[in-house]
Amino acid sequence: MLKYFLMSKILNLLQSVNAIYTDDHFVYTSGKHGEVYINKDSLYPHTKITSQVCKILAQKCANLEIDTVVAPALGGIILSQWMSHHLSEIKEKEIYAVYAEKDPIKTFVITRGYDKLVKAKNVLVVEDLTNTGGSVKKVVDTVREYGGNVTGVCIMVNRSPQTVTSKMFNAPLIVGDILQAKAWEEKDCQLCKNNVPVNTQMGHGKKYVQSKNK
């Protein structure tokens, strides 16, 4: 499987920092289970590689009208910084980097005065990984609620290309790479049925196991 991954530039860069895990039992943010996991936290400490990944993404987005880059906190903060840096160089103008954060009821808000950099601006929403696309869709909706014009959505790695499409966001979708991997609801999980232990070091596996042991 890794041999296939290495054919693509971004996945190759992720593999170079040991961010791709396969043939194990993972629980994703969405609650679904699967056998492939990308640990974005393995990427971000490597600033040179992170910059290279974001430069590739920025080049893919270069034809869009962009004033501000918005990403979900926390991991997306790093993406928004590097994306705006490279886009500013490409477009030869300052492009702002801000982020949306979750409030106590788990909806996204844009605070800290960043709303002024979103309202009436052309906004590129960026996200590292998608499985269902639900989180980035919430960020897109939040940007629009704050008066921003979403001119594109950029995803580093799309894991569900059949369902996570431009139609979901009503905006152009730019994808760095695709890593299609099966994901099951818990009740349908083949790994659970085969008694494969859940990986508790990555994703939401630890919380999942703890909830089962209560």
Q: What is the pLDDT averaged over residues 32-39? A: 90
In sign, the C-alpha dihedral spanning 20, 182, 27, 163 is positive
pLDDT at 1: 42
Q: Is residue 212 part of a domain?
A: no
Distance of CA 96 to the CA centre of its chain: 19
Task: Note the pLDDT tens digit of each residue in 43-99.
Answer: 999 999 999 999 999 999 999 999 999 999 988 999 999 999 999 999 999 999 999
Q: Which domain CATH number covers 53?
A: 3.40.50.2020
Q: Is residue 214 part of a domain?
A: no
For the chain, the domain total comes to: 1
Residues whose CB falls within 8 Å of the CB of residue 48, separated by 6 or more in sequence, listed in order: none
Given a cut of 70, whether residue 103 has pLDDT beyond it is: yes
Global model pTM greater than 0.85 = yes
CA dist., res. 87 & res. 146, Å (int): 23
pLDDT at 107: 87
Q: What is the pLDDT averaged over residues 10-34? A: 91
pLDDT at 213: 82
Q: Which residue has the tokens 């962009």?
A: 66
Q: Is residue 67 part of a domain?
A: yes
Q: Is residue 108 part of a domain?
A: yes
Query: Cis link prior to 74 (omega < 30° from 0)?
Result: yes
Residue of higher predicted confidence among 88 and 205: 88
Tokens describing residue 7 = 């054919």
- CB neighbours (10 Å) of residue 21? 17
Q: Is residue 72 part of a domain?
A: yes
Q: Is residue 210 part of a domain?
A: no
Q: Is residue 213 part of a domain?
A: no
Q: Which domain holds residue 53?
A: 2-204
Q: Is residue 211 part of a domain?
A: no
